[in-house]
Structure 1
Amino acid sequence: MHSPLRIAVLECDTPLDNINRRYNGYGGVFRALLTASAKTLNQPEKLNPETGMEITAWDIVNDNKYPKLEDVDAVLLTGSRHNSFEDIPWINRLVEFTQQVLAQDRVRLLGICFGHQIVGRALGAKVGRSDQGWEIAVCDMDLTDKGKELFGRDKIRIQQMHRDIVFEYPPDVTPLGSSPRCAVQGMYSPRRFVTVQGHPEFTGDIVTEIIESRAKSGIFKEAQGKDALSRAHNEHDGVAIGAVFLKFLLED
């Protein structure tokens, strides 16, 4: 792998104002996660947390510029309030770009929430609205045997913020886990991609802000918002999940 590790974060949304000011976009949110995860990895000879990553952010909603694949080692697709199943120009472009990444064998792919769904869609799986409704705040993700092997634990706790899902696993994709509200919580293909439906990058503060904003605007019902807020600051495995992503990107 190239040194430094060149990660292009495709920003599929803009955070709420306070979060945006604090982090400067979702690129900044992921920069914080991956830096913390590199420290947890504690392998400075392989990945120095300060100098070992070159993280660039690409606002693909408002600008149609994408990284050249020869200039990066990994592409990360962020979450989004937008619908992964919509037939609109910027989402169609993103699906096409994702298919280009999947068609080659050097640049690796990470998909988060909306990004997980886009990878599913790019591989021909159905994506859309779940009849189970919203999955919000810290929830358990039950792991498959491969998920246990990859994440090094029996289950993971991860922040959630979605009501859209990938309905089935695409062909030749290894399932990583499920939850009562979502059967396809993670997808894996060796040396190609890892995706999760949850948000390892979200902190309790970020999730609290999103829940409060969506409750105020009526997207979440009052009881739903209260329940989610009660779990927003629960302990979760986001940094450990980020460390698994980095190990995956560093693998020969």
Structure 2
Amino acid sequence: MKLGILETGDVAPELKARHGDYPAMFRALLGAVDGEMEFATVRVVAGEMPASPGQADAWLVTGSRHGVYDGLPWIEPLKAFLRDCVAARVPVVGICFGHQILAEALGGRAVKSDRGWRLGVQDYDVAPDAPAWARALPPHFAMRALHQDQVVALPDGAHVLASSPTCAFAAVAYGDRERPAAISLQPHPEFGPEFMDELLALRGGTAFATDLADTARATLDRPAAGDVWARAIVDYLHAAAGRAA
């Protein structure tokens, strides 16, 4: 399977040398589950866009410091491309910003939440009617998160896969529950604890208050279910493509 990674954000230079860019994080995360998966990166944040959904077997949209409402020149073309993927039944996975723009592209809504920032290891509940490809997920899981924007309205035909008291639409499936056209997740399965710690330290006092960063950093010794979600994402991609991992 060839997975196209739509890179919509850049890792801070201070962190990139040690941790790599977002595509590298996803290659490590998903490649550990499926060693035969091939990857290709498209730098959407730099103005690149795939010519067609068929350039890859599936697509993944990364996180970003940008918001879906920022009016950047690549936002609307990316939304159109995601709609084309869904129409062509080419599977899509969205993470954080990718989660938000996928919902927006398909008729939902994402905004800067009045709940403020969600930082550090957060707790989520899996919907009791989770589909077969998501059965590896435990009823409750923790995941590293860093976001202020949230999806606040779902498109028609979307189903909640996971939620929390402060993030109602933490994971979503679009279309048929058992074989959705796309899935998305608000927290970050690709973020390791060291990267998350350095990112919180770097942005504390600028993007958000230092005390919020310190509180979030104190949660990072808790286990996070990134590897479990990696398995679920790979299972989804193969199920959607009609193959078994």
Q: What is the TM-score when the length of structure 2 is the normalising length?
A: 0.90
Determine if contact 1:8/1:67 at 8 Å carries over to the other structure. no
- Distance, in Å, in 2 between the alignment partners of 1:188 and 1:179 is 16
Q: Distance in 1 between matches of 2:130 and 2:237?
A: 16
Note if 1:19 corresponds to 2:19: no
- Cα displacement string for residues 147-187 of structure 1 (whole angstroms, at most 9, x for unaligned residues): 48624311121110101011022111111121122111011
Output aligned runs, 1:174-189, within 5 Å.
Answer: 174-189=159-174
Q: Secondary structure at the match of 2:162?
A: strand
Q: Work out whether 1:33 is the aligned partner of 2:29.
A: yes
Alignment: residue pair count: 234
- Is the Cα contact below 8 Å between 2:137 and 2:229 reproduced in 1? no
Give the conservation status (yes or no) of the 8 Å contact 2:60–2:94: yes
Deviations 1:87-115 (A, max 9, x none): 2311111111111111112x100000000
Aligned equivalents of 1:238 and 1:67: distance in 2?
31
- Among 132, 135, 149, the alignment partner of 2:115 is 132
Alignment of 1:1-252 (within 5 A): 5-36=1-32, 38=33, 47=34, 49=35, 52-66=36-50, 68-105=52-89, 107-147=90-130, 150=134, 151-189=136-174, 190-216=179-205, 218-251=206-239, 252=242
Letter in 1 for 2:153: E
2: CA distance between counterparts of 1:161 and 1:83?
Answer: 13
Q: Distance in 1 between matches of 2:56 and 2:19?
A: 22
Tell me by how many angstroms 1:73 deviates.
0.7
Looking at structure 2, the residues matched to 19 and 57 of structure 1 have their Cα atoms a distance apart, in angstroms, of 19
2-structure distance, mates of 1:209, 1:148: 35
Deviation of residue 65 (structure 1)? 3.1
1:220 Cα shift? 1.9
CA contact (8 A) 1:148 1:155 kept: no
Distance 2:209 2:156 in 1: 37
Q: What is the one-letter code of the residue matched to 1:97?
A: F
Q: Could you tell me how far 1:121 is from its partner in structure 2?
A: 0.2
Question: Quick one: percent identity of the two aligned structures?
Answer: 29
Q: Is the 8 A contact 1:205 1:233 kept in 2?
A: no
Question: Which runs of 5 or more structure 1 residues have no equivalent in the other structure?
Answer: 39-46
SS at match of 2:204: helix
SS in 1 for 2:74: helix
Structure 2 distance, partners of 1:98, 1:239, is 26
5+ residue gaps, structure 2: none
TM-score (norm 1): 0.88
